[in-house]
Amino acid sequence: MPVLPGKGFDPFNLLLPPNRFNLMIFDNEDSGNTPRAKKRFGQHFLIDRNVINRIIKTADLSESDHVVEVGPGLGALTEGLVESGASVTAVEVDTDLAEVLKEKFKGAGNFEIIIKDALKFSFDDFAVEKGRKLKLVSNLPYNISGPILAKFLSERSAFTLMVLMFQKEVAERIAAGPGTKDYGILSVFSQMFTDVRLEFHVSRNLFTPRPKVESSVVSFKVLDTPRYEITNEAFFKTVVKSAFGTRRKTLLNALKALGLEKEIILQGLNKAEIDPQRRGETLTGAEFSRLANILFLLKA
């Protein structure tokens, strides 16, 4: 983990060294025709080479890989991805930044950029188009981290490995276990479909503009099948969301959001050997899958 900067720290002392792409890193002040970070896109640009190297190492990239980067920003992480020799596809919604990246990497034969909102981009279709599974490596915009992770998990068949940076508190929720304050919907979904590992934390001082929060890098090794058998994935997700709908409610009350009669819910909980007075945050992934499978059959 990089040493946390002290008082008087100048983030631009950590700019990437000169490179064959002549990559420019910019702050949020006006600098002529330089693109600036845009709050509406949740942009905070990573500027520390040590962190980038650790991310690349975690992704274990080779020339045989095809890696997708969502929200490449000004291309600091992109540069490391391109230099790994892997084929790189950047997905960027900001047209100003996209033009900068096109210019900076125009000499790289293993780079392409797609100008599109990642929430509306089909990673499944893209993997089919490329004829292979992908790796996903990104410093995610803070304002879409939850929705975009849910999308990645729903399209996980497109990926073998995801290495993603989140706000620290989001990363801790993803990796949290049952019975803890951070355990929730993202924890259950992520751990049901992938092997999750919280890799390392990243100081807010290593970004420009500097965010108000710390960040963390999380890896997700995609499983071939869910960790526990699931009869119907859509219904499983609905059960989990209902269970966490109101944390203070017991499962018997929280699961009424499913639209099932109380007797059916109680029968399902009893068959799953789960106390109706327990709360959603106490259930393991195995218990959630068992409960969802039983309720799916009972509601038919």
Q: Taking CA 219 as the corner, what is the angle to CA 191 and CA 37, rounded to the nearest 5 degrees?
A: 120
Q: 280 CB contacts (<8 Å, ≥6 apart)?
A: 240, 243, 244, 245, 247, 251, 254
| Per-state percent for the chain, helix, strand, coil, to nearest 5 | 45, 15, 40
The model's pTM is 0.86
Residue 228, exposed/middle/buried by CB under 10 A (0-12, 13-18, 19+)? Answer: middle
Residue 84, exposed/middle/buried by CB under 10 A (0-12, 13-18, 19+)? Answer: buried
Residue 95 has pLDDT above 50, yes or no: yes
pLDDT of residue 172: 97
- Among 54-63, 106-115, 136-145, 256-265, the minimum mean pLDDT is found in 136-145
Q: Are 244 and 184 in contact (CB under 8 A)?
A: yes
What value does the mean pLDDT take over residues 96-118? 95
Name the token pair of 69. 């980067």
Among candidates 222, 207, 112, 118, which has minimal Cα distance to 163?
222
Q: 49 CB contacts (<8 Å, ≥6 apart)?
A: 14, 16, 17
What value does the mean pLDDT take over residues 57-71? 97
Residue 33 has pLDDT above 80, yes or no: no
- Secondary structure (3-state) at 55: helix
What value does the mean pLDDT take over residues 272-295? 98
Q: Show the domains of the chain with their CATH numbers.
A: 11-222 (3.40.50.150), 233-299 (1.10.8.100)
What value does the mean pLDDT take over residues 227-255? 95
Question: Where is pLDDT greater, at 42 or 133?
Answer: 133
pLDDT of residue 35: 54
Among candidates 182, 270, 174, 202, which has minimal Cα distance to 51?
202
Residue 79 has pLDDT above 60, yes or no: yes
pLDDT of residue 133: 98
What value does the mean pLDDT take over residues 156-179? 97
**Chain-centre distance for alpha carbon 98:** 21
Residue 189 has pLDDT above 60, yes or no: yes
pLDDT tens for 114-142 read: 999 999 999 999 999 999 999 999 999 88
Residue 278 has pLDDT above 60, yes or no: yes
pLDDT of residue 208: 80
